Chains A and B, each alone.
Chain A
Amino acid sequence: MTDGIDEARLDDALVARFHRLQRGALPENWGRAVERAENLEMESKPPRRWWAGAAASVLVIGGIAAIAAMSRGGSPFEDVAAPASTVVSNTNPESAPTDPPATSTLPIVTSAGRGLAAFGSAMVVPSRATAGDVVTVTPDGLIQPTCTDLGGIFDVDGSGPARLGVIGGSEVWLPEMQRPTLPACLPPETDQPFSYVVPAGLGQRTVAICRSAQFDEAACGPLEIVIAADGEDAGVSVPVVEGLTEGEAVSTIRLLGLVAVIERVEVEEGDTDDGRVMFQRPAAATSVTEGDEVRITVGQASAREEIDS
């Protein structure tokens, strides 16, 4: 534990070390900024070349083809060569996209997490799946699952390339998963469903929809999809409840067959943590079994709040 080092001493030590750091050397970067700005100015005015019109025509034709593919119910990705390093073709016939989905192992469960109001939610069918299942995600119109540099689906477990979707103009997806049938460019906020096929041998994964281009706990949620490998009992994945109100957290925990144990810490009157879950144990995405406890720490007015003092 950390006996003997109280908050004030820690704060003093950090202030002193940062103060020392701020007395160190300091480079002059204004000239670099100006030079870079001038370069950006020049880069934004490229000379017009003969092939520019031809390239534009190709893009227009490509766009029309993409729209046509979407209208046929297919994906414009089908005709797009993705980077070889990120493509893993699925050769397992059991998980081919044309196969009928296997029986869902559990009813639909979407667990609400932090940022519900800000980031929206999504319906996932099924919430647990085995190899060959088609998992369909239907956003509620508030999340940004694809397109632009603000969207993506992230593998919370963090093993290997984690993104699934279109991020910053590049197609990236979990290597074990098949190419998702995502529309080429969803609007920033969408309610269009998209789906993918769960391959064999995936193991248990938790996938979350995030707003950020990089996986960021704070920007993720509220969705968790637990995918179990063939024949495995995935157990229960602890939901993200930090940031939720006590009531929301307890109902979310109970919905998954877990037991909520509440601890309270004092916060200032009017603090945004008042009535909300500040910490949880075990951490989100931890696999537990039904009936296990999830301990949550809920802020309760009124105590001095450390950061805004």
Chain B
Amino acid sequence: MTVATSERVEAVYRSVHAKIWRSLLAVSGDPELASDAESEAFAQALRRGEAIDDVERWVWKSAFRILDGLLSDRRRPAPTTTHERVMIDDVDAEFLSMLGGLTLQQRQIVVLRYVGQFNAAEIAEVLESSPGSVRVQLHRAHESLRSSMTEGKLS
């Protein structure tokens, strides 16, 4: 890991950290998992160094894939290292719980749309899907969230 690589990746981290971490939080509902996925993605970016052309895009994509893996590993052991604990207030926790009613893919798409502010083509690139599929899933997510609103879960 060269100094140049470290500086280049850290510059990306400083510019997108908030968006990426909160996106991962909204998808997983778990601050620890969000931090694990984000730090692993940036660690991998540091390792690959100059082999990555667009660090920001690479990290978005990798972080979501890593989170996928973490979410699917139900036997994941408790973290061996302690790190900063993040408290989520009740209002945000309620919102995260509502997002939890969506499928994982719908959650990812909604989060990338509203937090990442990506368009369909960019979301499709991150999730290795197609723009058409992204639109369909976003539509379904909206239907589900609209239903939640109607039931008073979201005001």
Contact = CB atoms under 8 A, between A and B. Distances in A.
Contact of B83 (A22, A32, A37): A32
Interface string B130-144: 111111111100110
A4 B151 CA distance: 12
B57 interface: no
B22 A21 contact: yes
B75 to A, nearest CB: 12
A278 interface: yes
A41 B132 contact: no
B51 interface: no
A145 interface: no
Nearest to B136: A278
A5 B128 contact: no
Interface stretch (A54-62, A74-82, A212-220): A212-220
Contacts of A37: 1, 42-44, 46-47
Interface residues of A, number: 50
A73 interface: no
Contacts of A15: 114
Contacts of A306: 135, 138-139
Given A20-B92, A36-B43, A219 B6 contact: no
Contacts of A26: 17-18, 21-22, 86
A27 B84 contact: yes
B17 A308 contact: no
B128 A10 contact: no
A33 B39 contact: yes
B149 to A, nearest CB: 5
Interface string B82-102: 011011110110011000000
A25 B88 CA distance: 7
A25 B87 contact: yes
A17 B92 CA distance: 8
Contacts of B154: 13, 17
Contacts of A118: 130
A36 B120 CA distance: 32
Nearest to A27: B84
Interface string A24-53: 111111101111111011000000000000
A21 B95 contact: yes
Nearest to A25: B86
A2 B92 contact: no
A40 B47 CA distance: 8
Interface in B12-49: 13-14, 17-19, 21-22, 25-26, 31, 35, 38-44, 46-47
B47 A214 contact: no
Contacts of A41: 1, 47
A278 B143 CA distance: 14
A32 B105 contact: no
A36 B132 contact: no
A216 B22 contact: no
Contact of B114 (A3, A18, A219): A18
Closest 9 CB pairs of A and B: A33-B42, A36-B43, A37-B46, A32-B39, A218-B133, A37-B43, A218-B129, A18-B114, A33-B39
5 contacts: A2-B146, A36-B39, A218-B129, A243-B130, A279-B136
